[in-house]
Amino acid sequence: MSNNVRVTPWKDGDAAPEELLAAMKGRRPNGELIGIDRVLLKSFPLATGWNELLRRIRTEFSLKLKYRELIMLRVAVLNDAEFEWNVHYPAYLDAGGTQSKADAIKAPEVDVAVFSEAERALLRLADQSTRTVKVESEVLDALKGFFGESQTVEAVATVAAYNMVSRFLVALSV
């Protein structure tokens, strides 16, 4: 977490609902709260809803985790969210992503040669939705061809959710 966080993060021992703390710790490796969690805990309703939404995206979507992590990394790059990159980079590798693909994702203009056609469609989705909000019909049609409608909806929701995450992180300097 940045030393310049723009709000005072929640500290161990501060008041918080036990059920909320347990749920948040349950999503984290070794049960350790990270910087964003400590800032979210400034608002218990926000922390509760956020934790549940992101838990479902991370654990219940049928779109492969490797693809969701690819999206998360690209959004982090586009929004200059270093904290988000640092959290999701190891998760992407653990989910089956490669170092060469991570390097390509980090470039302002992605060298698409290292990616499959399906991954290219996901990157186009992340780029268009993050940069301009509007997504071309051709991109959605390609995604539906690779993943079907349900997983296309999940891909769009992943982009949207991680734009929310990165904007929160960047605005508060987490």
Range of the domain at 29: 18-59
pLDDT tens for 79-123 read 999 999 999 999 999 999 999 999 999 987 889 999 999 999 999
pLDDT tens for 112-154 read 999 999 999 999 999 999 999 999 999 999 999 999 999 999 9
Please indicate, yes or no, whether residues 49 and 119 belong to a single structural domain of this protein: no
Confidence of residue 1 (pLDDT cuts 50, 70, 90): low
Amino acid at 76: A
The 3-state DSSP class for residue 28 equals coil
Please indicate, yes or no, whether residues 90 and 158 belong to a single structural domain of this protein: yes
CA-wise closest residue to 16 among 55, 53, 48: 48
- C-alpha to C-alpha distance for 167 and 39, rounded to whole angstroms: 13
The 3-state DSSP class for residue 88 equals helix
Which one-letter DSSP state was computed for residue 12?
Answer: T
Total number of domains constituting the chain: 2
Q: What is the pLDDT of residue 2?
A: 61
Q: Say which CATH number the domain at 159 has.
A: 1.20.1290.10
